[in-house]
Amino acid sequence: MPVTDEAIEKIKAMIVTGELGPGDRLPKENDLAERLGLSRNSLREAVKALSLIRVLDVRQGDGTYVTSLEPNLLLDAMSFVVDFHRDDTVLEFLEVRRILEPAATAMAAARMADVEVADLRRVLEALDDAPTIEALVANDLEFHRRIALGSGNTVLCSLLDGLSGPTTRARIWRGLTQEGAVDKTREQHAAICDAIEARQPEVARSWATVHIAGVEHWLRSTLVDAGAQLR
C-alpha cells in the first residue's frame, strides 16, 4: 500500500473507532507521525487529501481538526466529482434521480410541515405565465430542492443536490426543443405539490416518477434519433 494511502487509512481508523470525534483536534504533527509509524511527509499528504474531502479542517496557526462529519459536508465532495461527468452519462444520472427522487417526494408528503408545503406552493406561483427557459429551470431546481429538504433525510437531500447539476443542461435542452415541455412541467409540479399537500405519499411518489421518467424518456429518444441521423 502506498505510504500516503496507509496514512489515510490510519487516520480514518482513529475517526471510525471514535478515538477522534467531530470537532476534535489532531495531535501535533511530530507526535502523530511517531505514534502512527509514519513519515511527516506522508502524514501531511494524508491530511491534505482528507481535508479536500472535508473530513479534516486545517486551520493555519491553530491546528488540524476533524470536521462535523455531517452528510451534507462529506457529500459535498461528490458534487465536485460529479462536475466531471461526460454528456453521455447524463442518462445514468437521470436513472439515479428516478430511483431516489420519488422516494424523497413520498417522504416529504409525510413529513413536510404545513408552512413548508405553503412555501413550496409559493415557489410554483412565483413562475410567470410565460416564463423563459432559464426561469423555468431555476424554478424547477428550487422546487425539487425544497422537496428533498422536506424529506427530512439529510443524506438523501445531499445526494439529490449533487445529482441536480448534471441534469440541468438536459432540462434546458428539453425546454427549448420539446413542444409543450413548459406546460407539462408546470402541470406535473402542481400535481406533485397537490399530493404532498393532501398528505398522499404514494400519489406523490407516482407523480415524481412520471415527472423524472418523462425527461429521461425524452432524452433517450433524442439521443437515439441523433445517433440514427449520424449513421
Grid cell listed for 142:
428550487
pLDDT in tens, 143-173: 999 999 999 999 899 888 888 776 776 777 6
pLDDT in tens, 14-55: 999 999 999 999 999 999 999 999 999 999 999 998 998 889
pLDDT in tens, 45-85: 999 989 988 899 999 889 999 999 887 777 766 666 665 55
Look at residue 230 and tell me whether its pLDDT is greater than 50. no
Residue positions counted in the chain: 231
**Residue 231, SS3 per DSSP:** coil
Do the Cβ atoms of 161 and 79 come closer than 8 Å? Answer: yes
Do the Cβ atoms of 54 and 74 come closer than 8 Å? Answer: yes
The pTM of the whole model exceeds 0.95: no
For the chain, state the CA radius of gyration.
22
Look at residue 129 and tell me whether its pLDDT is greater than 50. yes
